[in-house]
Amino acid sequence: MGKRAIREAGRGVTLLEVIVSVAILAMVSLLIYGAFDGMAKGKRGVEQINQRYREGRLAIRRLAREIPSAFLSAHQPYNQSLIVRETLFVGENTTPADRLDFTSFSHRRVLRDSHESDQNEVSYFGSRDPDVPGKVDLARRESSLIDLEADRGGSVQVLAEDIDLFDLEYLDPLLGLWQERWDSTSATGQLGRLTLQVKVTLVLRGGPSGQTIPFVARIALAMQSPLTFALPQ
């Protein structure tokens, strides 16, 4: 090999070649970052959608556990002034979320030796988020003490956030028709009676591609007449 060949073999990389190499490396790195970033965003999106489905299923499961335990009781003092509690089943038709207040045997004691029974007041209703305009959450209220105010007291928790619809329908066992309202306390409603079934429609926002996520369930009640086992026949 001559001296000229030796000099050519020992030549370094030019500045232009370095710039081109760095540019190609930067482009490849950008493409790889974009791919991983897209995968991460896709994963977060799928997790959020799965969370919305889970939230809806848990809300329906809670409704399906508590509504069948609804009850009415005809046991009241003869002296009306001594009445301190009232059992009821009242469903109101409102937008975008209906409201349901009822008494049930669904209370679970979590504190040992607490002076509580399985009886409780339960309410389901729409609650507007004070921090997000236009956002409505499905809320649940429970009180272990049954009194004369079935829509107040106890503790409130959010079951499902950002709902689009919470609709309830009630199957009248006497008429065989679905009713949008139910009132066991009113003579113009369904005085002293419980519905046969409750049809629940819960629609959540935040589904795939911005769509809503619907949940529908039919929940049968265990009883339709008030408890009268301690009353004289």
Give me 62's structure tokens.
């809670």
On whether the CB atoms of residues 219 and 198 are closer than 8 A, the answer is yes
The continuous run of DSSP H or E covering 64 comes out as helix 15-66
Amino acid making up residue 95: T
- Give the CA distances from residue 2 to residues 5, 6, 46, 172, in Å, rounded to whole numbers and listed in that order: 5, 6, 66, 106
pLDDT at 198: 98
3-class secondary structure, 93: coil
* Mean pLDDT for back-to-back runs of 10 residues, the chain (233 residues): 53 77 85 76 76 95 97 86 89 94 92 86 95 94 92 92 97 95 94 96 91 96 86 57
Classify residue 199 by burial, with Cβ atoms within 10 Å: 0-12, 13-18, 19+: middle
Instruction: Give the separation between CA 131 and CA 205, rounded to whole angstroms.
Output: 17
Instruction: Give the separation between CA 101 and CA 70, rounded to whole angstroms.
Output: 10
Instruction: Give the separation between CA 170 and CA 176, rounded to whole angstroms.
Output: 10
Could you give the angle at the alpha carbon of 207 between the alpha carbons of 202 and 211, nearest 5°? 90
pLDDT at 9: 53
Instruction: Give the separation between CA 180 and CA 88, rounded to whole angstroms.
Output: 17
- Kindly provide the residue ranges of all beta strands, DSSP E only, lying in 23-98, ordered along the sequence: 89-92
